[in-house]
Amino acid sequence: MGSMFRTRYVLLAGPLLVLVGLAPRVAHAASTLSAVIDALAGALGAFVSVGVGIALLVFVWGIVQFVLQAGNETQMIEGRKRMLWGVIALFVIVSIWGLVTILQSMVGAGGTQKCSSPKVDANGTITVNCS
């Protein structure tokens, strides 16, 4: 039971520590709401990749534990709990990522540019027009 609490703390406290660690940098660099949201999205971009990977590992670890320990009821329950916490972590991470994306689109942040296809001229120069 103790290892499950440690897993919960890592999954829940990890993102908070990342955001707290980046808070001074974000506050110093950002002067407008869109800049704050862009900075938050940049910080979450790195976290999303790592967080989703960890959550998937916890989920797969639960599946493996559940399948391999089919005769041991307590180990099956532990595996089921790990699968549940992995799914919850995935849901939370993707939800936060989605909310930040929605905020970016609401305030016009995030660099959603429309660009033409790259064109190569006779000299080999590649040009892309963005608006």
Q: How far apart are CA 41 and CA 48, in angstroms?
A: 10
Q: Which residue range forms the structural domain that includes residue 119?
A: 2-127
How many independent structural domains does the chain possess? 1
Over residues 54-65, the pLDDT tens digits come to: 999 999 999 999
Mean pLDDT of 74-96: 91
Q: What are phi and psi of 70, to 5 degrees?
A: -60, -30
- Distance (Å) of CA 48 to CA 1, 26, 53, 82, 121: 27, 18, 8, 19, 39
- Distance (Å) of CA 117 to CA 112, 113, 130: 16, 13, 9
The larger pLDDT score, comparing residue 23 to residue 56, is at 56
Q: 80: pLDDT confidence band, cut at 50, 70 and 90?
A: very high
Mean pLDDT of 37-64: 82
Task: Give the tokens for residue 129.
Answer: 């027009």
Q: 30: pLDDT confidence band, cut at 50, 70 and 90?
A: very low
Mean pLDDT of 38-46: 72
